[in-house]
Each structure stands twice: as C-alpha cells, then as structure tokens.
Amino acid sequence: MGKLEVTVGKLRFERPGMVASGIMDETGDSMVRMFRSGAGAAVTKSIGLEPRPGHNNPTFTEVEGGYVNAMGLPNPGIELFREEIEIASREGPVIGSIFGGNAKEFAELAFKMEDHGTVAIELNLSCPHAEGYGAEIGSDPHKVRTIVSAVKSSVNIPVWAKLTPNTSSIVNLGKAAEEGGADAVVAINTLKAMVISPELRRPVLSNKFGGLSGPAIKPVGVRSVYDLRNALDIPVIGVGGITNWKDATEYIMAGASAFQIGSAVGTRGPMVFSEINDGLRMFMIDNGYRSIKEMVGVAHE
Amino acid sequence: MSETVMLIGKTKESNDTYTMEFNWDVPATPGQFVMVWIPGIDEVPMSLSRIGKTKSITVKGIGEASNAIHKMEIGDYVRLRGPYGNGFSLEDHNNILIVAGGVGVAAVMPAIREKKCDTIIGARSADEIILDEVAKKYSKNVWISTDDGSRGFHGNAVQLAKEKMSAKKYDLVIGCGPEVMLFFLHKACKEKKVECQLSLERHMKCGAGVCGCCVMDALRVCKDGPVFNTKQLDELSDFGSRKRDTCGRVVNLR
C-alpha cells in the first residue's frame, strides 16, 4: 500500500489532505467529522480577538466552476474558541488560523492559539473581503515579513503564512514570509471576484465583491505553488479547487508537501477526503511511488 | 444553482402570512428549501411550499426580511438559490401522519400533495391556521389544534398527535414547526414507537454545506438536513437545547 503520511517541516500528518480554513471548522464537532472523513488535519475558521458576525447575507453564491463568498470573517473570538479546539484536538491535529489588523494582534492571537493546543498557526494574510484584514495587509511584503516575525517570537509551534493570489507577485509575498521566519507557506486563498444580477441590476453579495474558490481557480493555484516551490526553501501547502485525487496530485507534483480542501466539501461532501486518499493510494501503487514525498515537486524535474 | 425569477402569484393566507409563487422549472423534493435574496436587506432560507414547475414559498412576517418579501408584487423579480437539502423520504410509507405547527405547514405542503396522509395543523389560535383548505383536498383527514381552543382541538399539535397515534397505527410521522414542538413530537413518536422525520432550522449563510455555520453537532442543517430521521435526532445533542449565533457562539434554547 502507498503510504499517505506527509511531513510539513517538523510536523507529520498521517494523511495529506487538510480541511481548509472557513470550511466546516467553526465547531469542535465539525472538525472531528472532517478527521473521521479522512482529513489529516483541520485548519480552523480564522479567529480574531473579539466575536464578529461577519457580513450580512448574501455571503455566498454558486458560479460556474466554483463559489464566490464574502463571509467577512465571522467567528466567536479567541477566548470562546478554546473549547472547540479542545474537542477537535482529541481526534486529530488542529492548525489555528488567525486574523489581526497588525503584528501585535497576530502575535497575541497566536500565543493564545498555542495555549489552546493547536499544532501550528496559519496566518490569514489573504482573505479578500474584510476591510483592514487579510489581503489588505497580506499583499504588502513588508507587512507580511513584520507580522510573521512578530508571531514567530510569540510562539514555539510552526507558523504558516497563507498567501493571497491577488497580487502581481505571490513569490515576493512568499519570500517575505520566509524572511520573517515562516515555517511554511499556504497558497492560495480565493481570487477577488464579483457576481451581478442583471435583472436586479446590482452585485449579489452584500459586500459587493468576494472571493472565488473551487475548480475554476485550480490552475492559478497550481502555478502559484510551482513558482513558490522554485523560489523558497520552506515547504509549500497547496490549496485551491482540489476536488479529486488528480487535482491533489497536480498540486503535489507542482511542489506542495500537503494540500487543503475547501469548496469540494460542499460539492462532493466530507467524504471527498477519503475518496482522494483512496485515489492517491491507487495512483501511487500503479506508478511505483512509495511515499507522497517522492512525488513532491516532480513536475520540476 | 441560482436563478432570478419573476413573481407570478401572491396569496394572502392569514393576517401576517403570504404565499408567493414563481415559475422555476428545476427538480425539487418535498422538504427542500431555497435561499431567497431580498436586495439590500438579507438572504434567508425558506421551505418550498410547492415543488412542481410552479414553485412557492409561504412566508410569515416576523422580521425585516419576511416583511420585505410581503411587499413584493406580481411581476417583481426575485433571486433564488437551491433547491437545497435532504427532504422527506416518503417512498415505502403509505400510512403517514403529518404534524405541522404554525407556518411550518409550508415545509410539509409538498408531502401533503404527494401522499394521501392524515394531517394535523396546529397554531396558537384560529386566525393563524393556514393552508388547511388545500390540505383538505389532498389528505384523508385534516385535524386542527389551537392553543387557545378557538378552533378544533384545544391544546397543542403534539398532544393531538399523541391521541391520533394511540387511535391508529402509523408507519411514519413527518413534522415541521417550532423546535420545542418538534422536540416533544420526537419524544411522542419514541413513546408510540413510530418512525419520524422532522424538518429543523438554524441560522444559515452558504446553504450549500460549505461554511458549517448551521451545524447541529456535526450535521449541517442545510446539506445533511434540514429533515432528520429518528436515529439522527436521537443522537443530536443540540436538538431542542442549543443553537449558534451568527458569530458561532453557543446560545442555549432552554
């Protein structure tokens, strides 16, 4: 049998797919369900210092090839979230996603996340639809470096930087994260997007614009991972439109040490993780790969 | 799936409840719901009260969004997403008791039309009983209950359902209404050893099983529900006890 375990820096995961931030990860029980469906780790919903309701509905709509959403970072706040992490951590590794408005807020949130029991921190430097957060600060390499560096000095667990593709050079953002001391980068977050109703003559989402996810963005993500792998020494985690084992394999061959899944939890269901695990095992047997690691970055050779 | 469709019918069901009809030829099953966009105000989940080529929602005016829906007129456009969710599984059942509380009758109307059932419609008082005339056309029996005794059985719908289950053996009970009613209906069905399927609700955002904000325990009301069966309800610790607000904070129901 092909072995599905992967390593991201010093962290080891039994299975290569993680549930991406913002997907079935607002409660401990839903993260447990993702582990039981075959996910190797769960990245939490992005958590801030205070409870936040997010944008008004409509916050989501289907489009050809994916979804456009502008949830607006709803979350119960870092204090209340402790209980959810405790429940989820009994069943599998939890990565705490956090968002702040500046380096100080990020550092404080990361410190609390580590105390809550997460195995790593994922910095949301890429949400495209929340004013003053996410991509608004994450598209400036200087800010990325400063934030990563501040978080690194406040925690002992690995720090991952989730990058935005809404930039002229994602590689520059990746380099900034690496210089700041990041242990890995995660690419990509959603692409800034808008949907308009012709009959009603206005943007559908209450926030007007949102972020495009799903199969439509997969080639953008694969290219980003490929470029980041070339430019960086730290591991890359691939995310964006993975729906089946072939998509996952593209990301791995582009250079991803592990991958995350979001939209497909809606289109395929939570069992998308075990479907992909099964598909990867078969592919590895058929092609003589003994580990995922042997496949990482082979498209560069 | 989403589409902007035109309103083709508007019927006043009671003082505060309207049925809005539109042509939308997509497949739907009894118990499914749609997300209804009210531009500039909100987008809310609404059960389909008709599921053929002509679909409808039946809306009680309880807040800004539902009151805005009431103001819509024939010829106005409305953008819908869906139909979403797992509805009622009615195949293999021929002896069904339907129990509806208040505007919850909307969610069971397609089932009433599809199967010749016994139907209980309950409300606080006579003026809040809706769709009973339509239900009469399709049901074997329609029984009414009101909390204040102003019409039909004096008491709540669950008390009446218990009496009917004692008098006759049903192979399925389906229900929709306030959660406290459904909580006791589930209990009553357990007592009477009758299988049940109940339609629940929670605050929703995506409606498509992605964001997870409507979970009860680990089940998504929008995608794994909104209809849950006896076995699922037995295990749902959130049922009748907890929900989450729009930030994801726990709110105790009792």
pLDDT digits (tens, 9 = 90+) for B115-130: 999 999 999 999 999 9
- Asked if B84 and B214 touch (Cβ cutoff 8 Å), the reply is no
Same fold, B2-84 and B96-252: no
Per the domain annotation, does A158 fall within a domain? yes
**C-alpha dihedral, A158 to A163 to A169 to A175, nearest 10°:** -10
Enter the tokens of residue A128: 């495209």
- % of chain A with per-residue pLDDT over 90: 95
The model's pLDDT over A206-242, given as tens digits with 9 standing for 90+, comes to: 999 999 999 999 999 999 999 999 999 999 999 999 9
Residue B179: CB partners within 8 Å, gap ≥ 6?
B200, B201, B239, B240, B253
Cα distance between residue A117 and residue A66, in whole Å:
33
Of B145, B220, B233, residue with least CA distance to B185 = B233
Chain A: give the shortest CA distance to residue B7, in Å.
Answer: 13
Would the CB atoms of A67 and B210 count as touching at under 8 Å?
Answer: yes
Q: Considering only CB atoms, which chain A residues are within 8 Å of B235?
A: none
Instruction: Indicate the DSSP class of residue B91.
Output: T
Which fold does the domain B2-84 belong to in CATH?
Elongation Factor Tu (Ef-tu); domain 3 (2.40.30)
pLDDT (0 to 100) of residue A29: 97
Tally the domains of chain A. Answer: 1
Would the CB atoms of B210 and A80 count as touching at under 8 Å?
Answer: no
Of A269, A259, A212, residue with least CA distance to A65 = A212
Query: Can you point out the beta strands (E) in B15-103?
Result: 17-23, 33-38, 42-51, 54-60, 77-84, 96-101
> What's the CA angle centered on A58, arms B104 and B106, to 5 degrees?
15
Per the domain annotation, does A223 fall within a domain? yes
- Which CATH number covers residue A257? 3.20.20.70
Would the CB atoms of A27 and B246 count as touching at under 8 Å?
Answer: no
Enter the tokens of residue A58: 């409509």
The model carries a pTM of: 0.95
Of B98, B38, B27, B30, residue with least CA distance to B69 = B38
pLDDT (0 to 100) of residue A129: 85
Cα distance between residue A67 and residue A263, in whole Å:
7
Confidence band (pLDDT; 50, 70, 90) for A127? confident
Mean pLDDT of chain B: 96
pLDDT (0 to 100) of residue A239: 98
Per the domain annotation, does A199 fall within a domain? no
Find residue A184's DSSP bridge partners. A160
A238 is annotated as an active-site residue: no
Q: Considering only CB atoms, which chain B residues are within 8 Å of A91?
A: none
Q: Minimal Cα distance from B212: which residue of A?
A: A24
Residue A109: CB partners within 8 Å, gap ≥ 6?
A47, A48, A49, A78, A98, A99, A100
Q: Considering only CB atoms, which chain A residues are within 8 Å of B223?
A: 266, 269
Q: Is the Cβ of A229 closer than 8 Å to some Cβ of chain B?
A: no
Confidence band (pLDDT; 50, 70, 90) for A1? very low
Which of A129-133, A270-274, B71-75 bottoms out in mean pLDDT, i.e. has the lowest? A129-133
pLDDT (0 to 100) of residue B152: 96
- % of chain B with per-residue pLDDT over 70: 100
Mean pLDDT of chain A: 96
Enter the tokens of residue A140: 């400036």
The mean pLDDT value for B100-124 works out to 96
| A86 has a pLDDT exceeding 80 | yes
Name the helix (H) or strand (E) containing B13: strand B2-14
| A131 has a pLDDT exceeding 90 | no
| A160 has a pLDDT exceeding 70 | yes
Q: How buried is residue B35: exposed, middle or buried, by Cβ count under 10 Å (0-12/13-18/19+)?
A: buried
| A185 has a pLDDT exceeding 80 | yes
Per the domain annotation, does A58 fall within a domain? no
If one counts every other C-beta atom within 10 angstroms of the C-beta of residue B97, the result is: 24
Of B113, B116, B189, residue with least CA distance to B157 = B189
Of A294, A244, A250, residue with least CA distance to A271 = A244
What domain range includes position A270? 6-50+76-190+211-300
If one counts every other C-beta atom within 10 angstroms of the C-beta of residue A207, the result is: 20
Q: Cα dist. A238→A17, A44, A111, A247, A251 in Å?
A: 10, 16, 25, 10, 6
Give the β-pairing of A6-8 and A11-13.
Answer: antiparallel
Chain A: give the shortest CA distance to residue B205, in Å.
Answer: 6
Per the domain annotation, does A198 fall within a domain? no
Domain boundaries, chain B: 2-84, 96-252
Instruction: Indicate the DSSP class of residue A46.
Output: P
If one counts every other C-beta atom within 10 angstroms of the C-beta of residue B15, the result is: 9
Q: Positive or negative CA dihedral for B121, B127, B128, B130?
A: positive
Q: Positive or negative CA dihedral for A285, A287, A290, A296?
A: negative
Per the domain annotation, does A59 fall within a domain? no
| A53 has a pLDDT exceeding 90 | yes
| A263 has a pLDDT exceeding 70 | yes
Would the CB atoms of B39 and A26 count as touching at under 8 Å?
Answer: no
Q: Positive or negative CA dihedral for A201, A206, A208, A214?
A: negative
> Which of A:116-145 have CB within 8 Å of B?
none
Q: Positive or negative CA dihedral for B160, B239, B245, A130?
A: negative
The model's pLDDT over B28-83, given as tens digits with 9 standing for 90+, comes to: 999 999 999 999 899 999 999 999 999 999 999 999 999 999 999 999 999 999 99
Residue among A30, A202, A269 whose CB faces B212 most closely = A30
Domain B96-252 bears CATH identifier 3.90.550.10: no
Q: How buried is residue B237: exposed, middle or buried, by Cβ count under 10 Å (0-12/13-18/19+)?
A: exposed
| A109 has a pLDDT exceeding 90 | yes
If one counts every other C-beta atom within 10 angstroms of the C-beta of residue A298, the result is: 13
pLDDT (0 to 100) of residue A128: 85
Q: What is the ipTM of this complex?
A: 0.94
Catalytic residue among A127, A137, A161, A171: A127
Per the domain annotation, does A203 fall within a domain? no
Enter the tokens of residue B72: 């819509």
The model's pLDDT over B185-243, given as tens digits with 9 standing for 90+, comes to: 999 999 999 999 999 999 999 999 999 999 999 999 999 999 999 999 999 999 999 99
The mean pLDDT value for A3-10 works out to 95
Confidence band (pLDDT; 50, 70, 90) for A134? confident
Cα distance between residue A127 and residue A96, in whole Å:
15
Which of A128-137, B173-182, B228-237 bottoms out in mean pLDDT, i.e. has the lowest? A128-137
